[in-house]
């Protein structure tokens, strides 16, 4: 068992801290926001993540997990310090490292002996060495330490499972001592034969960006294909299925839709473009994926306007789903924001429902209406838009929806349904890339 401090209680820090405690370690999570720590101490999770509250509650009850605002205490009492603070997008796509730098300063001030510092936040290449320099500069007296890069690969909505059953664990370290400690921390994952990638800090830092950029590029690629499908009368679902059967390609992330969002892909793709620029290279494929994603979100606005007959002024649009993906309340870079803004600018009345993200959405989109269920969002709507593929939207009573709407028109921005589900009931249905042969149009 190791004594571990985790600085930062966002998605990465809280899931990581709770997961490390579940592996048997003694973990203290640190955050400067007093209200958040008070809530966590009472068992209240500050964001929606399936299964996380149970893991937190269990490890608090069994004495392996605790919370504090006192970073000096956490650093002094721990042998390993994970840094999991936010690294938001800065100017021109660069990463804002102020929180990371601040944590490094605090670690330097409060070390009482050897410490292993584990950089968990997504940071530019070279940050591990930057952290080491800051720690040396702020040490009150010299102590040995190591800084390693251990990027996270958690998916919002399935983060707990991703931590406990990861595809791989990546560790970038310069010393045998640091690597041995990281192997010991993750030993329970060795028992389930999780691949353990041992490399340098710089390579580990780049692995995270390269992974996210590749997945984002797959999404943008299939969305470009979807546009072509609509033009030529082909079906992107069949195209993607056949592509995915090729083992060199694989089926994952070949789902046409409204574009990617969330805390990682938008920020990390821009950051990788910036990193390339700073070393005199071009990340032109990644830059293209970023631009395609921006245009795809705007294209959804045009789809809805077209479905309303070319003009949404004075008309009501029902919007099902606000979070950037299902099983999360995260609104960061959500396509729903672009859609709602574009429609309201054109004079539409937008009425929306989301199972868990309404509170976060209200703060970002105060000018639209919010309802208590999907059917209330559909009432008197001229167009109904499916924007997030929550499971409950897969089993709607379509006849009831039709009878509630002012006009039976649906834009399915996530291809949750097939045209055949709606059209026999008298709906006009528009998906993404669901083209049909010209003679049937």
**Residues tagged active-site:** 264
Structure tokens given for 375: 């059917």
Integer CA distances (angstroms), 22 to 26, 65, 150, 272, 314, in order: 9, 9, 18, 33, 54
The total of other beta-carbon atoms located within 10 Å of residue 428's CB is 15
Structure tokens given for 314: 């004075």
- Look at residue 370 and give its three-state secondary structure: strand
Nearest to 278 by CA among 168, 390, 127, 141: 127
Contact 317, 350 (CB under 8 A): yes
Cα–Cα distance between 25 and 390 in angstroms, integer?
35
The total of other beta-carbon atoms located within 10 Å of residue 73's CB is 14
φ/ψ of 218, rounded to 5, equals -60, -40
Structure tokens given for 193: 């034969």
Structure tokens given for 406: 């002012």
Nearest to 205 by CA among 268, 289, 160, 266: 268
Surface-to-core class of residue 231, CB atoms within 10 Å of its CB (0-12 exposed, 13-18 middle, 19+ buried) = exposed
């Amino acid at each position: 068992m190791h004594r571990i401090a985790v600085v930062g209680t966002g998605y990465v820090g809280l899931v990581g801290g709770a997961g490390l405690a579940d592996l048997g370690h003694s973990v203290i999570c640190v955050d400067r926001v007093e209200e958040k720590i008070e809530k966590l101490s009472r068992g209240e999770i500050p964001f929606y993540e399936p299964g996380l509250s149970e893991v937190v509650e269990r490890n608090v009850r069994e004495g392996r997990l605790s919370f504090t605002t006192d970073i000096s205490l956490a650093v002094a009492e721990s042998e390993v310090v994970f840094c999991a603070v936010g690294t938001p997008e800065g100017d021109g796509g660069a990463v804002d490292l102020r929180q990371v730098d601040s944590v490094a300063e605090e670690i330097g001030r409060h070390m009482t002996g050897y410490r292993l510092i584990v950089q968990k936040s997504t940071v530019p290449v070279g940050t591990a060495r930057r952290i080491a320099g800051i720690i040396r500069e702020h040490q009150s007296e010299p102590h040995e330490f190591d800084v390693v890069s251990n990027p996270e690969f958690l998916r919002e909505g399935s983060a707990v499972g991703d931590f406990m059953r990861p595809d791989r664990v990546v560790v970038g370290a310069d010393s045998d001592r640091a690597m041995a400690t990281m192997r010991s921390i993750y030993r329970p994952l060795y028992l389930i034969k999780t691949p353990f990638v041992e490399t340098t800090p710089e390579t580990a830092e780049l692995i995270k960006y390269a992974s996210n950029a590749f997945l984002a590029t797959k999404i943008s690629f299939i969305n470009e294909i979807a546009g072509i499908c609509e033009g030529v009368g082909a079906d992107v679902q069949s195209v993607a299925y056949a592509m995915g059967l090729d083992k060199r390609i694989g089926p994952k992330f070949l789902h046409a839709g409204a574009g990617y969002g969330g805390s990682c892909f938008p920020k990390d793709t821009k950051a990788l473009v910036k990193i390339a620029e700073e070393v005199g290279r071009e990340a032109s494929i990644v830059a293209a994926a970023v631009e395609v994603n921006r245009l795809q979100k705007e294209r959804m606005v045009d789809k809805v306007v077209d479905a309303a007959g070319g003009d949404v002024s004075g008309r009501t649009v029902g919007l099902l789903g606000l979070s950037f993906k299902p099983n999360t309340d995260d609104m960061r870079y959500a396509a729903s924001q672009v859609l709602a803004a574009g429609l309201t600018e054109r004079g539409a009345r937008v009425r929306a429902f989301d199972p868990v993200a309404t509170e976060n959405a209200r703060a970002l989109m105060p000018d639209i209406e919010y309802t208590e269920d999907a059917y209330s969002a559909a009432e008197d709507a001229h167009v109904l838009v499916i924007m997030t593929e929550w499971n409950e939207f897969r089993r709607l009573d379509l006849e009831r929806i039709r009878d509630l709407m002012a006009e039976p028109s649906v834009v399915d921005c996530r291809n949750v349904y097939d045209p055949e589900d709606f059209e026999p009931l008298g709906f006009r249905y528009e998906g993404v890339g669901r083209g049909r042969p010209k003679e049937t149009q």
